[in-house]
Amino acid sequence: YRLMVEKTPVLSRYYNISGEPIISFSGYGEDRPVETNSTSLGRSSNRRTDIRIVMDSPKIADIEGPFTAQ
């Protein structure tokens, strides 16, 4: 969790270089475990990185062009 907190601002600046935020980062640490931390297997399962890609739907104006039906 500490590493994520330290690296998130650096990664955010790198990936959002255009000035428009296109990527966001979230960390949950011990707040959202997927398994119990009382076993080594559970702790191993909780050491993870989830990557989720969320995109806005394109607007009609964005997709008009040479492929527009005539």
The answer to whether residues 42 and 35 touch, using CB atoms and an 8 Å cutoff, is yes
pLDDT at 60: 66
The chain-wide mean pLDDT, for the chain, equals: 75
pLDDT at 70: 53
Q: How confident is the model at residue 10 (pLDDT cuts 50, 70, 90)?
A: confident
57 Cβ contact list (under 8 Å, min separation 6): none
Q: What is the pTM of this model?
A: 0.45
pLDDT at 27: 75
